[in-house]
Amino acid sequence: MFPGAGRKNVNTSLDCAHVLPQFHGVIVTWVKRLAAIMDNTINTNLNTSASSVDVSTLTALLNMGGPELRANLCAQLITDFTRLRGALANDHGAAVARAAHEVKGLALTVGASKLADLAIGLDGVAQSLPASALALMVKPLTTEIDAVLSVLGDAAQAPA
């Protein structure tokens, strides 16, 4: 069984495009507040980085083949999350949305549900946000990616 299977992938992007032009200011304020809440939540949980990833899900994923596959997969996941972290540091909403979408699929698969939730939220609104609001939304996401990378780093060191 792939790890994150069974978890619902909620799409929040529907209808946003119609609403945003009229309520842009309200939404930006709301996004800032939401980002601040997310930021606080993540900061308080940073010390328990293992909770960023469902360990049983990740273990099942890494053990789907032999030790060679486990090592290769760990390395590839670290490479991909690092690449996506870099891709999120972009002023263009479309590029950020694209990266967030990719984070979403990958996070859901490795069992990083918190990261997936953040990515889903960003994917839905990134294209409509000004750069300042975008940066606020991206910050908790990159912090959570760091937490996931830390778990993956530990998994890479651990014996198969």
Partner 1 sequence: MNMQARPSDTILLIEDTPSLQMIYKAALTRANFAVESCGTAAEGMAAFHRLKSSVVLLDLMLPDRAGLEVMQDLLTMAPQTCVIVITANGSINKAVEMMRAGAHEFLVKPFDDQRLIAAIENARRALHHRPQPVKDAVIDVLPPFIGHSPKMLLVYDKIRSVARSMATVFITGESGTGKELCAEAVHQASARAGGPFVALNCGAIPVDLLESEVFGHLRGSFTGAISDKMGAAAAADGGTLFLDEICEMDLNLQTKLLRFLQTSTITPVGATKPRKINVRIICATNRNPLEEVRLGRFREDLYYRLHVVPIHLPALRERGDDVNEIADKLVVQMAREEGHEFSGLSPRVQELFRTLPWPGNVRQLINVLRNVVVLNSGPLVSPDMLPPDLLAERPARAAETPEDTSNRPGLGDLAGRTLAQIERIVIEDCLARHNGSVPKAARELDVSASTLYRKLDAWAKAEQSA
Q: Provide the binding-site residues for partner 1, judged by CB under 8 A.
A: 1-11, 13-14, 61, 64-65, 69, 72-73, 76-77, 79-80, 98, 101-102, 104-106, 108-109
Cβ atoms of 149 and 76 closer than 8 Å? no
CB of 110 to partner 1, least distance (A): 8
> Angle at Cα 136 formed by Cα 23 and Cα 45, nearest 5°?
125
- How big is the chain by its Cα radius of gyration, in Å? 16
Greatest CA separation for the chain: 55
Instruction: Give the chain's length.
Output: 160
Which residue, 42 or 108, is less far from partner 1 as judged by CB?
108
Closest separation in Å from C-beta 72 to partner 1: 7
Q: Which is nearer to partner 1, 108 or 147 (CB)?
A: 108
Least distance to partner 1, CB of residue 76, Å: 5
Q: Which is nearer to partner 1, 98 or 114 (CB)?
A: 98
Residues 6 or more apart in contact with residue 9 via CB below 8 angstroms: 104, 108, 116, 120
Closer Cβ to partner 1, 51 or 113, answer by number: 113
Please tell me the number of Cα atoms within 13 Å of 39 on its side-chain side: 11
Supply the minimum distance, in Å, between the C-beta of residue 142 and partner 1.
18
